[in-house]
Amino acid sequence: MTHGARRRAVIGAAVLGSAAVLSAGSAGTAQARPSAPHRRLPVPTVIAHRGASGYRPEHTLGSYQLALDMGAHVIEQDLVPTKDGHLVCRHENDITGTTDVADRPEFASRKTTKTVDGTSLTGWFTEDFTLAELKTLRAKERIPATRQENTLYDGRWTVPTFEEVLRWAEKEGRRRGRPVWLYVETKHPTYFRKLGLPLEEPLARLLRRYGRHGADSPTFLQSFEPTSMERMAKLVSTPRVVLLWTPDDRPWDFRETGDPRTVADLITPEGLKGIASYAQGIGPLLDLVIPKDKDGKLGRTTTLVRDAHAAKLLVHPYTLRNENSFLPADFRRGTDPAAFGDVFGAYEKYFATGIDGIFTDHPDTALLAAADARAEGTRTR
Ligand code: G3P
Ligand code: CA
């Protein structure tokens, strides 16, 4: 199974047995006093994953607005292109599950099967729609069985363009008297470049247009494909983060170019030093920080946070969600997969590792947990 398919299948539930371990008590590496704005964010930094996607359909202006209103420090966007090259906010180019496209007879003939990063997918894809066409669709909840309450908002919002988000952030920033931080992911960059729809150049143009191209801009860029971040480093100075999945995963750009390295190679001290030559942080799967045991319970903390900090890289793992179905087995409560578990207990464990921030679908909960961590002095800054 490929990276994308497996990630979709488990949503962060992988059990890692091979990572190096460190006793949990020795975490919380001291760091030099930071200076760049991205190093002065509150720690642990709360990153609203696809907005406040635990409460609103993901990647909608409603989801981003709620996250900002809740006080999230940073708001995440995933980017894919339309047929006419506009960047829009969707977690994947297959929009079957997050829009009403399947109910739209005028687009029935656009349903197709394609292979994206080695995975065969059947559905409707952003690259087959002009922006004008895509804008006629309405966003809906991805996981209605788990998040029934969010279906209340099905149809309320359209798929936002990244430029709309930049304008929204500008307006909200003016209103609040402080910048709105964004965390922007290039999705399937090699796949789209081969289609003649590269992501990086239009993204760089938009970042320049909205003044987010400097090293001090309130923005992180991120990708599972390291070469996408290397490319962005040549176009803009905006801080960059390399996303990391399971140790055996080989990033899709590496596969395409014959680079044999896997995530296991990238998270060695030498691999992290290499990342630090073009990025300011890593975004690892939570299981790379604390692997789960065979029962799905949290195991022993790895050396990743310590090693990344030694390479002067920030560590922003993904993704902690409140529902039982996404929590480690030892933090579930009851048997209803959609019910909230003991997520504060899980935050305590993850924050004690010394991570600099965390992606979450529930920023309000994360903010309380982050305040607890600071109050208890388990954080150094
Ligand atoms: O970008 C951090 C996190 O969002 C990575 O996972 O699959 O939700 O984009 P994904
Ligand atoms: Ca993402």
pLDDT one-digit tens code per residue, 325-346 = 999 999 999 999 999 999 999 9
Name the closest ligand to CA 78: 2
Name the closest ligand to CA 12: 1
d(CA 7, ligand 1 centre) in Å: 9
The overall longest dimension of the chain from CA atoms, in Å, is 59
Q: Is 33 exposed, middle or buried (0-12, 13-18, 19+ CB in 10 A)?
A: exposed
**C-alpha distances out from residue 26 to 300, 348, 352, Å:** 11, 15, 9
State residue 218 phi and psi, 5-degree precision. -80, 60
pLDDT tens string 252-269: 999 999 999 999 999 999
Contact 242, 266 (CB under 8 A): yes
pLDDT at residue 379, rounded to an integer: 55
Chain centre to alpha carbon of residue 149: 23
Question: What are 122's two structure tokens?
Answer: 């059947």
d(CA 12, ligand 1 centre) in Å: 10
For ligand 1, atom 6: residue with the closest CA: 318
Q: Where do the domains of the chain lie?
A: 3-376
Q: Residues lining ligand 1, CB < 6 A?
A: 7, 49, 78, 91, 185, 222, 243, 283, 318-319, 359
DSSP string, 236-256: --S-EEEEE--TT---HHHHH
- Whole-model pTM: value is 0.91
The domain 3-376: what is its CATH number? Answer: 3.20.20.190
Query: Ligand 1 test: best mutation among 219, 228, 243, most atoms within 8 Å of CB?
Result: 243
Is the pLDDT reported for residue 189 higher than 70?
yes
Question: Which one, of 29, 34, 33, lies nearest residue 216 by Cα?
Answer: 34
**C-alpha distances out from residue 230 to 208, 258, 283, Å:** 17, 17, 15
Is the pLDDT reported for residue 76 higher than 80?
yes
Q: Region 208-212: what's the mean pLDDT?
A: 98
Q: Region 347-355: what's the mean pLDDT?
A: 98
